[in-house]
């Protein structure tokens, strides 16, 4: 993100769907790490949150579902404060 480019975040987002791959623990771990990273960074950085919101509109259905879950959790946490 230091360059201001969306590409590093989008590349991580594209790995999220790997969390549901069955039979390959290494691949599942990559997907889970990507999901955690996107979620944690979207909570901390407005620009990452903007990228996640935009990508949720255009992502494949599987990725979209995870991004919407992340966005819902962030909104719910914000409502608790």
pLDDT by residue for the chain (81 residues), tens only, comes to 466 789 999 999 999 999 999 999 999 999 999 999 999 999 999 999 999 999 999 999 999 999 999 999 999 987 776
Q: Is residue 76 part of a domain?
A: yes
Q: What sign does the dihedral 52-38-6-27 (CA atoms) show?
A: negative
Domains held by the chain: number = 1
- Per-residue model confidence (pLDDT) at position 77: 85
Burial per residue of 44-65, b for 16 or more beta-carbon CB atoms within 10 angstroms, e otherwise: eeeebbebbeebbeebeeebbe
Q: Is residue 2 part of a domain?
A: no
- Give the torsion through C-alpha atoms of 76, 10, 62, 54, to 10 deg: 50
Token pair belonging to 39: 């979620």
Q: Is residue 33 part of a domain?
A: yes
Q: Is residue 1 part of a domain?
A: no
Per the structure, the complete domain to which residue 20 belongs is given by: 7-80
Q: Is residue 52 part of a domain?
A: yes
């Amino acid at each position: 993100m230091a360059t201001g480019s969306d590409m590093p975040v989008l590349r991580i987002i594209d790995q999220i769907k790997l969390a549901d791959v069955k039979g390959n623990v290494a691949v599942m771990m990559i997907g889970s790490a990507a999901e955690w990273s996107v979620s944690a960074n979207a909570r901390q950085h407005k620009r990452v949150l903007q990228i996640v919101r935009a990508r949720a509109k255009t992502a494949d259905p599987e990725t979209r579902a995870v991004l919407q879950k992340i966005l819902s959790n962030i909104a719910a946490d914000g409502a608790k404060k």
